[in-house]
């Protein structure tokens, strides 16, 4: 497959994810090291692309690397309590200067970096301001943290107004108190608080490495309970903040590498992803069915069987064919299913496949699940090196045509499947040619 075709297929497969994210709020947090990395320019382009696709974007930046260097240049000692900086008056003045410079550099990157990019003439607007009210961290274990603070309140109304205007909102790790004092904030705490206050769809936390590694191998997704277990043996500040954000209500937190070109787009718009996702219990998964799923599948297909949309299957037949089924599951409950049956030639070799028994619970229709389920089945077929898939339908022809199928004559069915064609049912035959990987 040539590069152009590969890119087209990727974009087509990304369409359901793009549609799902339009109008949703994402909070993206980048450490100071990430702002200096050569890949930051590519990340700027990707963030601008998200906004052009209708995503509401809040960018939170860190500054530890820059502050450390500035303090060293000023001959001021770095002081920490655990992993939290102790911010005395002298240190605060240095932080203000470092953060101020960073904020202008980020704004410049989004304006100066776009003319010679794919997002040229996009007229991206970036807004920042006093959106964050802070309070002092206080005294911890006998240590006065001085002007180190925590988020007390966030101006969600002001941020939402900016997002509704299509602007990218930039939050720097500083906040003012009700008494007019300025406090140094941890940017990861700030990002988590922003995600919570804005009810963000996702929180993206950038770090130097891509996936978390457990027992020597990469991990692509973890439930919050699994993440808590992993955190006991893996030292990761971003993982701990991801867990805290999930516990505070954010549904999904993604850990990505700021050095990985295109990681954000791959994570958001493909099933494979590029980092590690931490999710709450409401996570939605697509998986192969197991024998214990028979009852749930029957609950999905029985109403459609009564309407004549699907051919009736007995429990016994379903149990025998369960290996052919794939489920969409939300909160452990099957909400959609479909089957992929092999079509054999006279020698018993698989030459094509038939999609059957597509059913989606009424309360979960319209969210792109059917399209994602079809993509999953197509990947299964490609994994078997199959060039085409068929579907026989009486009432849902247009749904499949919208997903790339074309009507063909019954005579074009492979002979083994044609011999089983039910003339009484008079189903239309649709076929889709698959692009091989």
| pLDDT tens digits, one per residue of 325-353 | 999 887 678 899 999 999 999 888 999 99
Work out the angle at residue 46's Cα, subtended by the Cα atoms of residues 251 and 256, and round it to the nearest 5 degrees: 50
Q: What is the dihedral of CA 232, 237, 243, 249, to 10 degrees?
A: 160
Nearby residues of 90 by Cβ (< 8 Å), 6 or more positions away: 76
pLDDT in tens, 288-313: 999 999 999 999 999 999 998 898 99
pLDDT given for residue 356 in this prediction: 95
- Cβ atoms of 408 and 400 closer than 8 Å: no
- Check whether 437 has a pLDDT greater than 80: no
* Coil, strand or helix at 368: coil
- Write down the pLDDT at residue 282: 53
Compare 290 and 284 and report the one with higher pLDDT: 290
Q: Which fold has domain 285-433?
A: Aminopeptidase (3.40.630)
Q: Where in the chain is the domain with CATH 3.40.630.30?
A: 285-433
Question: What's the confidence (pLDDT) of residue 84?
Answer: 93
User: Which residues pair with residue 128 across a beta bridge?
Assistant: 170
Q: Is the pTM of this model over 0.75?
A: no
Give the span between the Cα atoms of 232 and 119, in whole angstroms.
Answer: 43
Identify the weakest region by mean pLDDT among 78-92, 182-196, 423-437. 423-437
Residue ranges of the chain that CATH labels 3.40.1160.10:
3-282
Alpha helices by DSSP H, listed for 312-412, are 315-320, 369-383, 397-401
State the architecture of 3-282 in CATH terms: 3-Layer(aba) Sandwich (3.40)
Given a cut of 70, is residue 212 above it in pLDDT?
yes
Q: What is the pLDDT of residues 98-128, one digit of tens each?
A: 999 999 999 988 886 555 555 555 667 889 9
């Amino acid at each position: 497959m040539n590069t152009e075709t590969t890119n087209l297929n990727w974009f087509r497969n990304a369409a359901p994810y793009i549609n799902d994210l339009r109008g949703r709020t994402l909070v993206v947090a980048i450490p100071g090291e990430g702002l200096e990395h050569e890949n930051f320019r590519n990340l700027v382009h990707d963030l601008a692309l998200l906004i052009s696709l209708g995503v509401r974007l809040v960018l939170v930046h860190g500054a530890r690397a820059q502050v450390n260097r500035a303090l060293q240049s000023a001959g001021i000692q770095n002081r920490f309590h655990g992993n939290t900086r102790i911010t005395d008056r002298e240190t605060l003045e240095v932080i203000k200067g470092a953060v101020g410079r960073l904020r202008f550099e980020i704004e410049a990157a989004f304006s100066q970096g776009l003319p010679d990019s794919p997002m040229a003439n996009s007229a991206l607007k970036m807004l920042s301001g006093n959106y964050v009210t802070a309070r002092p961290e206080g005294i911890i274990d006998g240590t006065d943290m001085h002007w180190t603070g925590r988020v007390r309140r966030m101006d969600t109304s002001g941020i939402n107004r900016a997002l509704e205007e299509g602007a990218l909102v930039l939050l720097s790790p500083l906040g003012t108190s009700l008494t007019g004092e300025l406090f140094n904030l941890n940017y990861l705490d700030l990002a988590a608080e922003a995600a919570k206050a804005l009810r963000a769809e996702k929180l993206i936390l950038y770090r130097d490495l891509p996936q978390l590694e457990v027992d020597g191998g990469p991990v692509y997704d973890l439930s919050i309970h699994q993440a808590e277990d992993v955190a006991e043996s893996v030292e990761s500040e971003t993982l701990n903040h991801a867990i805290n954000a999930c516990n505070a209500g954010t549904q999904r937190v993604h850990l990505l590498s700021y050095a990985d070109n295109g990681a954000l787009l791959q994570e958001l718009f493909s099933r494979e992803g590029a980092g590690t996702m931490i999710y709450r219990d409401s996570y939605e998964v697509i998986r192969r069915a197991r024998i214990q799923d028979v009852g749930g599948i029957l609950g999905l297909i029985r109403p459609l069987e009564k309407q004549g949309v699907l051919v009736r299957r007995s429990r016994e037949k379903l149990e025998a064919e369960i290996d052919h089924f794939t489920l969409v599951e939300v909160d452990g409950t099957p909400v959609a299913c479909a089957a992929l049956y092999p079509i054999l030639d006279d020698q018993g070799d698989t030459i094509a496949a038939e999609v059957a028994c597509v059913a989606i619970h009424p309360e979960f229709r319209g969210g792109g699940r059917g399209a994602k389920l079809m993509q999953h089945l197509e990947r299964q077929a490609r994994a078997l090196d199959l060039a085409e898939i068929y579907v026989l339908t009486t009432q849902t022809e247009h749904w499949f045509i919208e997903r790339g199928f074309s009507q063909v004559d019954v005579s074009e069915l492979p002979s083994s499947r044609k011999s089983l064609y039910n003339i009484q049912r008079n189903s239309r035959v649709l076929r889709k040619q698959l692009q091989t990987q």
